[in-house]
Amino acid sequence: MSKLAVVALGGNALLKGNQEGTIVEQENNAMETCKTLVSLIERDYRIVITHGNGPQVGNLILMNEAGNEKFYLPKMPLDVCVAESEGQIAHIVAQQLERLLLEHEIDKEVISLLTHVEVDGNDPAFQNPTKPVGQFFSKEEADKMAEINGWQFREDPRKRGWRRVVPSPKPLFVRSANIIKQLTDEGHIVICVGGGGIPVIKNERGMIHGVEAVIDKDLASSVLATQIGADELIILTDIPKAYINFHKENEVALNDLSLEEAESYLLNGEFAAGSMGPKIEAAINFVRNGGKIAEINEAGELKEAHHGTRIIGNNG
């Protein structure tokens, strides 16, 4: 059977930092990203598509606040906003991908699944928010919103501004992964684990309920890739490689790494917690748990069959 890859798209695959976020902008961005996905399919990959939602869910939170203040509409909890953004983004990606499949005469179905991902209710992340969501603000704007809403903000590692941060517990288990695997085995393309999936906690009776959090999509994608036995985990971002000494005079791009090398760089603090850190951690987790290759790359580079930073397992 052909290779199975989980391809994790960044939230900026649909909405870039300098854009307003109109539907036309998001559709155009999705089209460019989907061209990369089609290139993988033409290279005989079966793919599962996951995606971030940082900009989109942040905007939904702001809409919640504005609607509550102006029209007295009830606010929705964060897990519901994640579900909304997961459906919204999957709809946009599926439309563009299906158009390209038709153009390339590829006979595959695109299926979108709202996905629950289990987390631990005692995860320390609930006491230490780190996951950036929404747009970038100036320091003055961030301070004002923090005072009004009680939100927490952190400066972007790449100095693009300040973003709200929310709890980001570790994903433990992707529910319905067996269904996702079955669909890919049948030749379908699945869009799932959007925004890291909808965070839920399971009680002693096996019942689930949503929690106020956003799961890192790369870590959740790694868990999914392991559960379905994927050959590769491909994390697409807006830079072609991971770097050590990032944005310093002695910056070095990383190519192929062993698991041990990647773990050493991560332990030495080479990768920012709210940026490249979770991507490297997700790649390490996948390879450590039997995955062949984890790759971090820019969409355009992947389309040309080049590779970015790859962590290669013993069976890669």
Q: What is the DSSP string of the chain?
A: --EEEEEEE-GGGT--TTS---HHHHHHHHHHHHHHHHHHHHTTEEEEEEE--HHHHHHHHHHHHHHHHHH-PPPPPHHHHHHHHHHHHHHHHHHHHHHHHHHTT----EEE---EEE--TT-GGGGS--EEEEEEE-HHHHHHHHHHH--EEEE-TTSS-EEEEE--PPP-EETTHHHHHHHHHTT-EEE--GGG-EEEEE-TTS-EEE-S----HHHHHHHHHHHTT-SEEEEEESSSS-EESTTSTT-EE--EEEHHHHHHHHHTT-S-TTTHHHHHHHHHHHHHTT-SEEEEEEHHHHHTT---EEEE-TT-
pLDDT value, residue 305: 60
* CA angle, residues 217, 218, 223, in degrees to nearest 5: 95
Mean pLDDT check: name the lowest of 69-73, 75-79, 212-216. Answer: 69-73
More confident residue, 18 or 195: 195
Residue 270's pLDDT is 93
Rounded mean pLDDT, 248-265: 94
Average pLDDT over residues 46-50: 98
Q: Is the per-residue pLDDT at 265 higher than 80? A: yes
292 is catalytic: no
pTM of the model: 0.92
Set 29, 134, 194, 279: catalytic member: 279
List the domains of the chain with CATH numbers. Answer: 3-311 (3.40.1160.10)
Q: Is 269 a catalytic residue?
A: no
Confidence of residue 224 (pLDDT cuts 50, 70, 90): very high
Q: What's at 129, amino acid-wise? A: P
Mean pLDDT in residue range 282-291: 97
Q: Which of 15-24, 112-121, 210-219 has the lowest mean pLDDT?
A: 15-24
More confidently predicted of 161 and 134:
161
pLDDT digits (tens, 9 = 90+) for 122-152: 999 999 998 888 788 999 999 999 998 889 9
Confidence at residue 133, expressed as pLDDT on a 0 to 100 scale: 84
The yes-or-no answer on residue 16 being catalytic is no
Q: Give the model confidence (pLDDT) of 173-194 as tens digits.
A: 999 999 999 999 999 999 999 9
For the question of residue 217 being annotated catalytic, the response is: yes
What's the pLDDT score for residue 238?
83
Lowest mean pLDDT among 6-15, 84-93, 145-154, 245-254: 6-15
How confident is residue 227, by pLDDT bands cut at 50, 70 and 90? Answer: very high
Helices 23-42 and 78-103: crossing angle in degrees, nearest 10, is 60
In this prediction, residue 124 carries a pLDDT of 96
pLDDT grade for 275, boundaries at 50, 70 and 90: confident
Residues 6+ apart with CB under 8 A from 264: none
* Burial (CB count within 10 angstroms: exposed 0-12, middle 13-18, buried 19+), residue 251: exposed
Mean pLDDT, to the nearest integer, of 298-315? 79
Catalytic residue among 12, 64, 285, 297: 12
CB-count burial class (<10 Å; 0-12, 13-18, 19+) for 172: middle
Residue 181 CA to residue 200 CA, distance in Å, equals: 21
| Known active-site residue 248 | no
Catalytic residue among 10, 217, 241, 291: 217
The pLDDT of 264-271, averaged and rounded, is 94
Other C-beta atoms within 10 Å of 270: how many?
19
